[in-house]
Structure formats: structure tokens, C-alpha cells
A and B are shown apart, each in its own frame.
Chain A
Amino acid sequence: SSELTQDPAVSVALGQTVRITCQGDSLRSYYASWYQQRPGQAPVLVIYGRDNRPSGIPDRFSGSSSGNTASLTISGAQAEDEADYYCYSRDSSGNHLMFGGGTKLTVL
């Protein structure tokens, strides 16, 4: 089992808000970064650190963290947000890195 746990699939109605979560003991001490991956494409960084967006990422993407859970929130989801989303952080030992299992987001 993954030490960074994500829900396999989440759906959201067009224009509504959705939160994608990532749980793991390491997240009590370290931030996660989040990646969007559309089919057939390389992943793209959407959030890093406490709540930082790279240039070019829409401000509807935001990040937060509480306890052992990191969250990616999309406020006003658009059709183009339909993709797989992965969190990335340290494993529970703190010595290595890992991705969560990924969440497939469907925009209805």
C-alpha cells in the first residue's frame, strides 16, 4: 500500500469546487507538491509548498495542509481540469521521496 494515500477517483460538476486529498504521516512535517497529468502527456506542476502556483497555473488551483493531509482544491472546475492528479512528498521515513497513487478527476 502507498504511504501517500489518494482517493482513486473524484468527480465534480462543471463550475463547482472539488478537493483532492493526499494522506500520509510524512505530511505532518513536509509539504506536498501536486501534479496534473492529462492522457498521453507528461505531468505538470500545479501547486508546491504551502500554497504556491507556478507561472501559468490558473488561480482556481490552491493548496492547503492540515495534520497528515495535504489538499488540492480546484474552485470552479473547468472541463480542461479533467485529468489525473498526483501528490509528491517524502515517505514516512523522511529519507526518500514518493508519489501518491493518483486521483482521476472527472468533470461532469
Chain B
Amino acid sequence: QVQLQESGPGLVKPSETLSLTCTVSGGSISSYYWSWIRQPPGKGLEWIGYVYYSGNTNYNPSLKSRVIISVDTSKNQFSLKLTSVTAADTAVYYCAREVYSYGNRYFDYWGQGTLVTVSS
């Protein structure tokens, strides 16, 4: 059974960089897309972006200038960096595995989510 676990600081100061890592266990990181999704308190889900196991990336245009998603296949991990954070970046951050098959895209495994608060 594939499991994903987010890790990283729960509190980040304004203007600093939010950094999270997702560790994948129970399966290989190869041949899938690995995504970050966030959810501000009381609001809906927002797709942040993905990294393919080969390293190719795709980001939400509204966040593209501040986001880097990378993968480390040797550690079965992928990471999110979001720069110049503000209070609007306070959210539960989820990592998820995305399948792309026969034109269908869907998230079949999710992490439990980690709350990141931006505050001084």
C-alpha cells in the first residue's frame, strides 16, 4: 500500500520560504506524477503543481513565479518550495500521487496533509 507523508515546518515567517517534503513509501516514485495541493482554512482545494519522476514540472500559473517542485528518486521523495510567503499562503498542504492514463488524470493516493501557518 502506497503511503505519502508530508514533513516540514508548521510555522513560516512572512517573506520567507516555505519548504515541505513528501516521502513516498510502499511503492516507487517512478512512472507517476507527484503533486502538491493546498487548502486554506475553510476554503477549497488549490492545485499548486506537479513534478514527473523524470523531473519535468508544471505549475499553477498564479503561483508559478514563487514555486519550485523537485524530485529525489534516490530517496523516494519530492519537495515543494514556495518563496516570499504571505498570510494568504496559510493552508493545509497535501502531497498526492497523480496517475495519467489513457487521457485520465486523477489522484489515487494522498498524504494526510500538514498545516503551514505564515505568521511573524
Q: Count of A-B contacts with CB under 8 A?
A: 62
In the bound complex, what is the Cα–Cα distance between A95 and B60 (angstroms)? 10
CB atoms of A49 and B102 under 8 A apart: yes
The reply on A108 being an interface residue by CB < 8 A is no
If over half of B's interface residues share one DSSP class (helix, strand or loop), that class is named, otherwise mixed; here it is: strand
Instruction: Return chain B residues, CB-CB under 8 Å to A95.
Output: 58
If over half of A's interface residues share one DSSP class (helix, strand or loop), that class is named, otherwise mixed; here it is: strand
**Among B46, B104, B110, B113, which residue has its beta carbon within 8 angstroms of that of A48?**
B104
Closest approach, in angstroms, between the C-beta of B33 and any C-beta of chain A? 10
The reply on B34 being an interface residue by CB < 8 A is no
For chain B, give the interface size range: 20 to 34
Task: Please judge, given known A-B contacts A42-B94, A42-B111, whether A99 and B44 are in contact too, CB under 8 Å.
Answer: yes
For chain A, give the interface size range: 20 to 34
The reply on A15 being an interface residue by CB < 8 A is no
Instruction: Return chain A residues, CB-CB under 8 Å to B106.
Output: 33, 45, 48-49, 88
In the bound complex, what is the Cα–Cα distance between A61 and B106 (angstroms)? 16
In the bound complex, what is the Cα–Cα distance between A95 and B57 (angstroms)? 12
Instruction: Return chain B residues, CB-CB under 8 Å to A102.
Output: 44-45
B69-120 contacts to A, CB under 8 A, are: 94, 102-108, 110-113
In the bound complex, what is the Cα–Cα distance between A49 and B60 (angstroms)? 22
Closest approach, in angstroms, between the C-beta of A89 and any C-beta of chain B? 7
Could you tell me which B residues sit within 8 Å of A by CB distance? Answer: 37, 44-47, 50, 58-61, 94, 102-108, 110-113
Pick 10 A–B contacts, CB within 8 A, sort by A: A31-B103, A35-B107, A45-B107, A45-B108, A88-B106, A96-B60, A96-B61, A97-B47, A97-B58, A99-B45
